[in-house]
Amino acid sequence: MQINIYNQEGKVVAKEEMKELAEITTSDKKLVSAAIVAYLSNLRKPIAHTKTKGEVRGGGRKPWRQKGTGRARAGSIRSPLWRGGGVTFGPRNIINFEKKINKKAKGKALEILIGDKIKSNHFIVLENFSVAAAKTKEAINLLKNILPVGKGSILVALSKREDSFLRAAKNIPYFEMTPIKSLNVYQILEADYLLTDVDGFKEIKKLFD
C-alpha cells in the first residue's frame, strides 16, 4: 500500500510504500488491552499510607490493669479499636503495581494501533514541521491545512526534536508532541490523529517489517 506525503499546504508531494495491513483480530485487541493496562499500571505510584499499631507513636504503657476495673482488657492506647490508634488493613505505600510486557508484544501493540490510524485515515505524514516563526498562529495554520483542527486531539511523533514547531504549538490544548522512541500505546489510543514527518515515518515503518 502507499502512504501520501503532504507539504504544509496540504498537497500530496510524494508517496511512500509500505506493506499491506492485516485485519485486527480478537487476539490483537487483547494484546493492545494488555499493553495499555501494563503502561498505566507502571505509572501508578502508591502514595496513600496508613500506620499499623506498631508504627503509631505512643501506647507503650498498658492503660489500666488487666483485672478488677470492670472495663474491657486493653494493652495499648494505639490499638486499632481506639481513636488515634493504628489502622487495620489500610493502604500501604509498599505495594508494587508494576506489570511486565515483553518488547516484542509492546512493538506489536504499537503496530496494531498505528495500523488502525492508517486505515481510518487518521495518520498523516508531512514533509517537515518547520515554521517561519515560533507563534501559535503559524502552528494552527499549518495544522488547518492538513486536517480538521478542533475536531480531535493531535499527537505529533518525530524522530528528532523540532524546537520551532514545539514552541509554536505548545499552547494548543488538543496538541501533544513526542519523540518516536518514546511513543507508547496509550498516547496513540488517546489521540484522534497521529502525525509525523518523512524521517519519523521511516522509523514507524520498521514496526511493520
pLDDT in tens, 107-151: 999 999 999 999 988 999 998 888 878 888 888 888 888 886 557
Whether 167 and 66 map to the same domain: the answer is no
pLDDT at 35: 95
Measure the CA–CA gap between 30 and 197, rounded to whole angstroms.
30
User: Which region among 20-24, 61-65, 84-88, 102-106 has the lowest average model confidence (pLDDT)?
Assistant: 20-24
Based on the domain organization, do 180 and 141 belong to the same domain? Answer: yes
Model confidence at 60, in pLDDT bands (50, 70, 90)?
confident
Is 140 in the same domain as 165?
A: yes
Residues 17 and 110 in one domain: yes
Q: Based on the fold, state whether residues 26 and 128 are members of the same structural domain.
A: yes
Same domain, 63 and 152: no
b/e 109-123 (16+ beta carbons within 10 angstroms → b): bbbbbbbbbbeeebb
Domain with 30, as residue range(s), is: 2-44+98-208
Same domain (yes/no): 131, 203: yes
Predicted pLDDT of residue 82 = 93
pLDDT of 11 > 70? The answer is yes
Do 34 and 104 have their domain in common? yes
CATH number at residue 18: 3.40.1370.10
Q: How many CA atoms lie within 13 A of 119 on its CB side?
A: 12
Predicted pLDDT of residue 150: 59
What is the per-residue pLDDT for 164?
84
81 and 112 in a single domain? The answer is no
> Do residues 112 and 183 make contact, with C-beta atoms less than 8 angstroms apart?
no
Q: What is the pLDDT of residue 170?
A: 84
Domain co-membership, 85 together with 126:
no
pTM across the whole model: 0.79
The pLDDT of residue 18 is above 90: no
Q: Does residue 57 sit in the same domain as residue 143?
A: no
Last-in-domain residue among 96, 114, 136:
96
- Whether 37 and 138 map to the same domain: the answer is yes
**What's the rounded Cα separation, in Å, for the pair 195 and 122?**
8
Average pLDDT over residues 185-191: 93
Rounded to an integer, what distance in angstroms lies between the CA atom of residue 132 and that of residue 122?
26
Contact 197/158 with Cβ under 8 angstroms?
A: yes
The per-residue DSSP string of 9-71 comes to TS-EEEEEE-PPPPPPPHHHHHHHHHHHHHHHHHH---------TTTSS---S-SS-SSSSSS
The better pLDDT of the pair 81, 164 is held by 81
> How many domains does the chain fold into?
2
C-alpha cell, 61: 504503657
